[in-house]
Structure 1
Amino acid sequence: MDYQGEHLIRPPSEADSIILQVTVGCSHNRCTFCGTYRAEKFRLKDEATIAADLAFVARHCRRQSRIFLADGDVLILPQERLRRLLQDIRQQAPWVKRVRLYANAKAVRHKSVQELKELAELGLDRVYLGLESGHDPTLTAIEKGSTAAQMIDAGQAVRAAGLFLSVTALLGVAGWENSEAHAEATGRVLAAMEPNQVGVLTLMLLPGTPLYQAAGRGDFILPDQAGLLRELRLMVTAMGELRCQLHSNHPSNYLAINARLPRDREAVLNAIDRALAGEVGLRPEALRAL
């Protein structure tokens, strides 16, 4: 398999998937907290290279039934090329039942619901979308490239197309000053997006990123553990009656949660309260990772 660039990332839930790299880097690549592709120029890989990788999959990956399309934003590809790619996957690896990818809100909004439905009919079944925050001032500050309203539109389009929508929210990204506003707004936006799954991560300041530099100057203050737990509590409360899977078991988090909402809301809030009271052990700093 041909893998280019310094980093090749995928969601934790795609650990057992075939990783087929279609793009290198991220089409946006300006988020101030992210250092994954900062030195990488975004590019589409040539179709001959991808075809060779699919031939490898056909020979050697018959026990894996899922494919994850890397890197940061494969949905930015023109519809015709995405159509050919999914058709090639179906032809070369007919045992693959599910195809997943990362997308940003801009790429989603460049597709009509009908185009997204077409991709679903060709095998795409899940879209991972990074919301990070539903608080417009925070989205502007971190240079996310979309407003909360645009995030909602993108999420609703994915759902309207019949695709599974997994959305990430990022604790701490608003800093101490806007912590509560960020948490409450993010919960409200998630409720409006109606994702099937919400994955919660906690900000880790990465050397070389603008947000790390801002923290070094004292212009950004990351909430402490208690502040981050309060963010999580406010976010869950603001999500209201949203029906979704809720996960905070990513290793960046201090408190691991795996729940179904709204069924488990009270249990989740109780677990957070117990953690705030010091009755639940939190992940040690040395074990936190991206």
Structure 2
Amino acid sequence: MDTNGKIENGIISVEKDNKIVFTLDLSGRFLFYDNGDATYRRSLDNKFLRLKHTESGRSVELVDKEAGNKIADEAYNFLGSIAEDLPQELSIYARRFSSLNHEFLEEDAKKLHGIYGMSVPIVPPDQYFPVYIQAEKGCSWNRCTFCKLYRDRDYMVRLPDEFKEHVRQVKDYFGEGLSARKTVFLGDANAVNLEQKTLLSYLDLIKEEFGLPVYAFVDAISTQKRKSEMHFREMKDHGLKRVYLGLESGDPGVLRLLNKMMNLSEAINLVNQIKDAGLNIGIILMAGAGGRKFYENHVKNTASVISQMDLGRGDIIYISPIYEFDDADYYNISKGLGSLDDNEKEKQIGDLKTSIYETYQDMNGKKLEAPIVKYDLKEAIY
């Protein structure tokens, strides 16, 4: 058995027979493990995703606690079995972490929950490994019919002294593992909506403590009433790099079903103000929203709305299949719409992508340079 590995960008990668098998941060936290059958990713709150490529495509599955514990122990046992065969620097870390197991990860997750008071609700697709800093708890709107992320928490903003203590706790929690984190995500649902002076002071503290670019969500329901292009320019100057907008659809009928009470003209204007301020933006859409009844309108009108946004390089459009959770209001609404099955949602992702590119070209006389990428909400765990 040929074993090797490397330490790069704060991540330990251990290889067997020229294939990366196990990756950890410098505090010993499990990141990825490949046992030959599937790849397993662990979130900081100790959820394990099984990622596997099959004949029908890529599958993503959240495994149960017992299975996750088994995978964790298997990964650390593997690390111990090859520790002596690794190069010296790697061997030191491998020996140090080889005694860890699922109990260590469970305790680590408890520390995380103690800092946030709950699980971290969600991060965007390209922000799976940030430092999550919670400037606000919950969502000030919290009435979208399809979303249950913030149902268990009241909305509140952290006061300055509380925020400083929160930042200190997060930094202490990561320890050596902080070197594996390349961005800060400012949560929860719309931290850029904070009073401007407070927000800028929070961004300054993040820059001082972490020195990393900052990302955050934005909504098109209330933000355009509170923030101007000048405000976004100030945010950029204080370290904000990209914001993410859950547009979901460009069709008014679909938005009403989702209780996403935004004015689409205002949403377009908000995005263009953000772009004019020099920030990048990520637009999140949902395939399957509105079911068969709204299929054509969802595709056509979403493409039209996107084509009125000044998107370009550095921006990105994500399309995720909607999930009709039986404990969310949209579940009952969707019954009368003709819900799309997985294959039909996959087809609509392709239809949206094609329509957006073609409509953007027709309306603007140039190619849309922002990539359109599929992602799965199941993977948006921290």
Q: TM-score, normalised by structure 1?
A: 0.79
Among residues 350, 366, 382, which one is paired with 1:233 in the alignment?
350
Classify the secondary structure of the residue corresponding to 1:12: coil
1:251-266 → structure 2 map (5 Å cutoff): none
Query: Can you list the C-alpha shifts for 1:143-164, whole angstroms capped at 9, x where unaligned?
Result: 1020221221111111111111
**Contact 2:124–2:380 (8 Å) recurs in 1:** no
Candidates 369, 377, 380, aligned match of 1:243 = 369
Give the conservation status (yes or no) of the 8 Å contact 1:17–1:68.
Answer: yes
**TM-align CA RMSD:** 2.2
2:184 counterpart residue number? 67
Supply the distance in 2 between the matched residues of 1:204 and 1:20 (Cα, whole angstroms). Answer: 27
1:104 aligned to 209, 219, 223, which one?
Answer: 219
Supply the distance in 2 between the matched residues of 1:62 and 1:225 (Cα, whole angstroms).
38
Q: 1:131 & 1:99 partners in 2: Cα distance?
A: 21
Deviation of the 1:100 alpha carbon: 0.4
- CA deviation after TM superposition for structure 1 residue 49, in Å: 2.3
Deviation (angstroms), 1:233: 3.1
Tell me if the contact between 1:139 and 1:147 (Cα under 8 Å) persists in the aligned partners: no
Question: What CA distance in whole angstroms lies between the structure 2 residues aligned with 1:194 and 1:135?
Answer: 19
> What is residue 280 of structure 1 aligned with on the other side?
none
Q: Deviations over 1:96-119 (max 9, x none)?
A: 2x1000110134312110110010
Counterparts in 2 of 1:4 and 1:76: CA distance versus 1, 3 Å: farther
Matched positions, count? 251
8 A Cα contact 1:7 1:37, kept in partner: no
**Counterpart residue number, 2:20:** none
Aligned counterpart, 2:136 = 23
The residue number in structure 2 matching 1:205 is: 324
Amino acid at match of 1:219: G
Q: Distance in 1 between matches of 2:341 and 2:170?
A: 45
The answer to whether the Cα contact below 8 Å between 2:349 and 2:374 also exists between their aligned partners in 1 is no
- Displacement of 1:24 in angstroms is 1.0
- The letter of the residue matching 2:369 is R
1:261 maps to what in 2? none
Q: Which residue of 1 aligns with 2:85?
A: none
Distance 1:85 1:246, change over 3 A: same
Determine which of 23, 44, 64 is the counterpart of 2:157: 44
Cα distance in structure 2, aligned partners of 1:289 and 1:209: 18
| 2:168 counterpart residue number | 55
| Partner Cα separation in structure 2 for residue 70 and residue 12 of structure 1 | 15
When structure 1 is superposed on structure 2, of 243-252 and 155-164 the one drifting more is 243-252
How do 1:11-160 and structure 2 match up within 5 A? 11-56=124-169, 60=175, 62-63=178-179, 64-93=181-210, 95-96=211-212, 98-109=213-224, 110-160=226-276
Classify the secondary structure of the residue corresponding to 1:244.
Answer: coil
Q: Distance in 2 between matches of 1:179 and 1:226?
A: 14
Q: Distance in 2 between matches of 1:249 and 1:212?
A: 21
165-174 or 8-17, larger mean C-alpha shift = 8-17
Q: Deviations over 1:238-275 (max 9, x none)?
A: 223322122103266xxxxxxxxxxxxxxxxxxxxxxx
CA distance in 2, matches of 1:43, 1:165: 25
Larger radius of gyration: 2
CA separation of 1:85 and 1:251: change in aligned 2, threshold 3 A: closer
Amino acid of the structure 2 residue aligned with 1:79: Q
Range moving further from structure 2, 103-112 or 167-176: 103-112
Tell me which moved more, 51-60 or 141-150. Answer: 51-60
TM-score normalized with structure 2 length:
0.61
Shift of 1:134: 0.2
For the 8 Å contact 1:24–1:71, the answer to whether it is kept is yes
- Give 3-state SS (helix, strand or coil) of 1:198's partner: strand
Q: Secondary structure of 1:166's match?
A: strand
CA contact (8 A) 1:8 1:70 kept: no
Larger strand share, 1 or 2: 2
Query: Which letter does structure 2 place at the counterpart of 1:82?
Result: L
Three-state SS of the structure 1 residue aligned to 2:192 is helix
1:175 counterpart = 2:291: yes
**Alignment check: 8 A CA contact 2:249 2:298 kept:** yes
Which residue of structure 2 lines up, in the alignment, with residue 273 of structure 1?
none
8 Å Cα contact 2:291-2:339 kept in structure 1: yes
